[in-house]
Amino acid sequence: MAHQPSMKTALGRVRGLGSAKSGTDTFWLQRLTGVFNAVFVVITLGIVIALAGRPHAEVIAALRHPLVALPIGILIVSGVIHMRIGMKEIIEDYVHGGPKVLAVVANTFFAVLVGASTLFALLKISFGV
């Protein structure tokens, strides 16, 4: 077996870390949110199908139940985190120069805006405010 040259520095080999030191965390977080999304999309889809065609009052009453609101809330949080990570990876790969930093910041603000507004709407419905 031939020796493969390493891209790590000597200090990186000793510490067992890559050059960025956090790439695997992002990798695993994206995989974890992907699994959460797969599970909670199925649950949420079941809820949507069960409520399809029902009167508005029945849908609101269903969304006020914790066993309905909680999986939808988890899907919102997991989906927004997954979206932010995926777009950040695309931006880092394909945007270069000054616009890169602006695009990464805008991506984070957009993810927070989408997550906060959808969670706010769900909480407002759930608590009947």
Percentage of the residues of the chain whose pLDDT score is greater than 90: 78
Going by C-beta distance under 8 Å and a sequence separation of 6 or more, which residues neighbour residue 1? Answer: none
- Predicted pLDDT at 98: 87
Instruction: Tell me which of 5 and 21 has the higher pLDDT.
Output: 5
* Confidence bin at 125 (pLDDT 50/70/90): very high
Q: What are the structural domains, with CATH classification, of the chain?
A: 22-126 (1.20.1300.10)
Q: What angle do CA 51, 53, 54 make, to 5 degrees?
A: 60
Q: In whole numbers, what is the pLDDT of the chain averaged over residues?
A: 90
State pLDDT tens for residues 44-103. 999 999 999 999 999 999 999 999 999 999 999 999 999 999 999 999 999 998 899 999
pTM of the model: 0.80
